[in-house]
Amino acid sequence: MIDPITLAQELIRCPSVTPKDEGVMAALEKHLKALGFTCHRMTFSDAPGEPTENLYARLGTAQPNFCFAGHVDVVPPGDKSAWSVDPFSATVKDGYLIGRGTEDMKGAIAAFVSAVSEFIAKPFKGSISLLITGDEEGPAVNGTRKMLPWLKTKGEVIDACIVGEPTNPKTLGEMAKIGRRGSAYGILTVKGKQGHAAYPELADNPVTHIIAMLHNLKHSKLDEGSDFFPPSNLEITSVDVGNTTGNVIPAQAEARFNIRFNDRHNAASIEKWVRTQLDAAGGKYELRWRVSGEAFVTPPGRLSTLVQEAAKDVTGITPVLSTTGGTSDARFVKDICPVVEFGTTGVTAHAIDERVKVDDIVNLKTIYRKILEKFF
């Protein structure tokens, strides 16, 4: 049997800041091979991402194939001197495992591998696989997005998937994710005519135009929400003019905004809505537009029920099925099979002194094992 804490420490001690590998895939592969998994390592390197290591491992050849998806890359630790321990030391202190990646999400990966090591002590009919990437925290172009077409070329079929993202707000067992909102980013540039502030009739102030445009974007309601999602939301994240002089009307103004949208919209309809609001305000503008993921939902069903039942068996809590939070690689996996996200808590993910309770990792291992038992 594999101890989840020991394995989590081994993974955390690899400083795999996205998209660097730093030996973390080899460490994981070593344990999976020892359990009997057939492992495939692959590197993708398309721009704008950097070369990224990925791993697909499968135990068994029969269907159904139950997959665990996750990532071993982590965000930078920030100011290391602000940490109470070295961020890559994986120190256990006061009942917590502390280190970058404990919550997001090396702790969950270790818990799943440990769960598998216990589960396969008895025969089962089917397969277990892991789909592990090294670029989820980055642009996410050379990881799961590329691995799924590769699986298709190899004839690999996944029947159900758990993504081990940290889904619980404060307490293990509180929440599972059955979908995610879409995310769109806009960079709005408004051009005017520079001039003297005392003679506005000789200039065209882009700040006036951009204020009107942003007012329309912020105060026009997108929707009332849907069955599984709250109302879509737009946040203005930056407004820049770069004008250091108080008596000059600038020639250009720029703003950035982000929209988290529900399943009443898609990338095309959201962009159309944005342009309608901008056009209504008047003024010439340029819009640079990027959608990092569409809204999706896996309707409550067998997979989410298994997760809820297993979590309640261990914690006494039935997880709420939610679609809150940011994006994850589940947005790619949903194209091939039902997917539910469930992992540790996320209170300190990406924070200084990122940490998770030792007992939570152990209990998560038990939950994952029970999910496998119920699934097979």
Q: What is the number of other CB atoms lying within 10 angstroms of the CB of residue 3?
A: 14
Query: 160 and 264: one domain?
Result: no
Q: Are residues 61 and 201 in the same domain?
A: no
Do residues 215 and 316 lie in contact, with contact meaning Cβ atoms separated by under 8 Å? no
- For residue 336 the two structure tokens come to 């091939």
Claim to verify: residue 25 and residue 158 sit in the same structural domain: yes
Coil/strand/helix, residue 295: coil
Q: What is the CATH number of the domain that holds 82?
A: 3.40.630.10
- pLDDT score for 280: 96
Q: How many CB atoms lie within 10 A of CB 130?
A: 23
Q: How far apart are CA 70 and CA 81, in angstroms?
A: 29
**Residue 340 identity:** V
Residue 174: both structure tokens together: 């509180």
The DSSP-derived string for 300-341 is: SSHHHHHHHHHHHHHHS-PPEEE--SS--THHHHTTTS-EEE
CA proximity to 339, closest of 293, 300, 291:
300
Question: Do residues 80 and 142 share a domain?
Answer: yes
DSSP 139-169: T-SSSHHHHHHHHHHTT----EEEE----BS
Cis peptide before 147 (omega within 30 of 0): no
The CATH number given to whatever domain includes residue 186 is 3.30.70.360
From 293, 327, 354, the end of a domain falls on 293
Q: How many residues does the chain have?
A: 376
Q: Do 68 and 162 lie in a common domain?
A: yes
Question: What residue numbers bound the domain in which 67 lies?
Answer: 4-180+295-375
138 CB-contact burial (10 Å; exposed 0-12 / middle 13-18 / buried 19+): buried
Chosen domain end from 275, 293, 311 = 293
Residues 205 and 308 in one domain: no
Residues 17 and 147 in one domain: yes
Asked if 165 contacts 307 with a C-beta cutoff of 8 angstroms, the reply is no
Q: Fill in the DSSP letter of residue 202.
A: G
How many other C-beta atoms are found inside a 10 Å radius of the C-beta of residue 245?
8
CA distance 58 to 144: 16
Token pair for 330:
């589940």
Q: Are residues 219 and 243 in the same domain?
A: yes
Which helix (H) or strand (E) element contains residue 3?
A: none
Q: What is the pLDDT of residue 48?
A: 84
CA 170-172-177 angle, 5° bins: 85
Tell whether 13 and 59 lie within a shared domain.
yes
Q: Which of 235, 266, 293 is where one domain is finished?
A: 293
Bridge partners of 53, per DSSP, are 43
Q: Is residue 259 classed exposed, middle or buried when 0-12, 13-18 and 19+ CB atoms within 10 A define those classes?
A: buried
- The total domain count for the chain is 2
Question: Do residues 241 and 320 share a domain?
Answer: no
Q: In the block, which residue shows the tokens 């080899």?
A: 26
Q: Are residues 33 and 21 in the same domain?
A: yes
DSSP letter at 81 equals G
Q: Which residues contact 93 (CB under 8 A, 6 or more apart)?
A: 84, 85
- Say if residue 87 is preceded by a cis peptide, omega within 30 of 0: no
Catalytic residue positions?
Answer: 73, 136
Task: Output the pLDDT for position 244.
Answer: 87
Could you tell me where the beta strands, DSSP code E, fall in 7-108?
38-44, 52-59, 65-71, 91-93, 96-98
Q: Which residues contact 238 (CB under 8 A, 6 or more apart)?
A: 254, 255, 256
* Residue 315 and residue 186 share a domain: no
The residue type at 74:
V
pLDDT along the chain (376 residues), means of 10: 97 96 97 98 89 96 98 96 97 98 98 98 96 92 94 96 97 97 96 94 95 97 94 96 91 97 95 97 94 93 97 98 92 95 96 98 98 98
In this structure, the number of other CB atoms found within 10 A of the CB of residue 107 comes to 35
